[in-house]
Amino acid sequence: MRLESIRRKIKEAASLVFFGGAGTSTESGIPDFRTAGGLYSQPGVRHYTPEELLSRRMLEQNPELFFEYYRNHLLYPNAKPNRAHVVLSKWEREGRLDTVITQNIDGLHQMAGSQRVLELHGSVHRNYCTNCDYTAGLDEIMKAFHLVPQCPQCGGMLRPDVVLYGEALDSDVMHQAVQALQRADFLIVGGTSLVVYPAAGLIDYFQGENLLLINREATPYDHRAKWVIHDMIGEVLSQLSAEPSSNDH
Ligand code: NAD
């Protein structure tokens, strides 16, 4: 019955927004950061933590080490959207979903067909030269001869358009995310530990009552949600998008 009432509320929503994180993509085979088996439970490189390895400072001072770690742990060029991405894109096509706000950098929402996606932390699919105006896709980075990809135009370093530790989030993307959350009357938060700021703090801009939180583990925001489901997001969103069945609980 509970799923049925959530499903009904989603159908009635005038402005539905989804806010997600790394857990949205684990069912596509991309590990998250903070659960067992995630990136933070694996050894770093030498004595560096993942935060240090994925920082602006590392990129500038030791680009070889940065790119070795980045290539081995953040690039999944063969990953495909899973049921969570597919349901969200279907809801957008049906005019039921306003915006996806994601902390992910993998581009899987767009690959599933979502158009209105705000990428708070950028994307591995966009890369740019630190020296000139050259831009490159992920393919070019994957095929690059050098570990530190070089600009074919000027020989400068190509870097991902990803927000590294020590860098600020794009103020325009943040502004659009705040606006989407302020106009939302139903917010689904899913697959995020909600401990990475300032991204996690954004959900405070949602002022409605209909907050559904779907995460495998408890989060610091569970008490704020009207409904909390500790389960796999692909499974839960599929059930919410399906027609009601007698098994609903
Ligand atoms: P996180 O690793 O801190 O937390 C992920 C959360 O998702 C955990 O609480 C976990 O229990 C939950 N989870 C994992 N699989 C799930 C599933 N199938 N269904 C439901 N819940 C599931 O991730 P975060 O909060 O997004 O913060 C980490 C930062 O790392 C983000 O800023 C993001 O940019 C980056 N990151 C991105 C990717 C990606 O693009 N796919 C992958 C790893 C990390």
pLDDT digits (tens, 9 = 90+) for 16-71: 999 999 999 999 999 998 776 667 767 667 788 888 999 999 999 999 999 999 99
* Atom of ligand 1 lying closest to residue 79 CA: 41
Tell me which residues of the chain have a pLDDT lower than 50: none
Our CA angle for 48, 51, 52, nearest 5°, is: 45
Q: Quote the pLDDT of residue 159.
A: 98
| Pairing, β 227-229 against β 210-214 | parallel
Can you list the positions of beta strands (E) in the chain? 16-20, 97-102, 117-119, 122-129, 135-136, 158-162, 186-190, 210-214, 227-229
CA-closest residue to ligand 1 atom 16:
23
Ligand 1 centre to CA of 114 (Å) is 19
Ligand 1: lining residues by beta carbon, under 6 Å = 21-23, 25-27, 30, 32-35, 38, 103-106, 121, 191-193, 196, 214-217, 232-233
Provide φ and ψ at 59, rounded to 5°: -60, -40
Residue to probe by mutation, ligand 1, list 33, 69, 78, 110, most atoms within 8 Å of CB:
33
Nearest 10 degrees: CA dihedral of 29, 32, 37, 40? 140
Provide CB contacts within 8 A for 66, sequence distance 6+: 53, 54, 58, 59
> What is the CA 132 to chain-centroid distance, rounded?
28
Q: What are phi and psi of 224, to 5 degrees?
A: -85, -15
Distance from the alpha carbon of residue 209 to the mean position of ligand 1, in angstroms: 24
pLDDT value at residue 249: 53
Q: What is the pTM of this model?
A: 0.94
- The tokens describing 178, both together, are 């705040």
Atom of ligand 1 nearest to the CA of 25: 41
Q: State the first-to-last Cα distance of the chain, in angstroms, to the nearest integer.
A: 5
According to the model, what pLDDT value does residue 102 have?
97
Give the position of tokens 């697959």.
191
- Give the DSSP H or E segment for 52: helix 50-53
CA-nearest residue, atom 15 of ligand 1: 23
pLDDT at residue 89 in the model:
98
> By alpha-carbon position, which residue is closest to atom 19 of ligand 1?
232
**pLDDT at position 83:** 98
> Which listed residue (47, 121, 146, 249) is catalytic?
121
Distance 14 CA to ligand 1 centre (A): 28
Which residue's CA is the nearest one to ligand 1's atom 23? 22
φ, ψ dihedrals at 91, nearest 5°? -65, -35
The tokens of 52 are what? Answer: 């240090």
Convert the pLDDT of each residue in 64-82 to its tens digit. 999 999 999 999 999 999 9
Q: How far apart are CA 146 and CA 20, in angstroms?
A: 33
Q: For residue 76, what are the CA distances in angstroms to 102, 138, 239?
A: 17, 10, 27
Q: Within 10 A of 108 (CB to CB), how many other CB atoms are there?
A: 24
Helix (H) or strand (E) holding 4, with range, is helix 2-12
Rounded CA gap, 236 and 139, in Å?
Answer: 33
**Residue 121 catalytic?**
yes
According to DSSP, residue 157 is labeled B
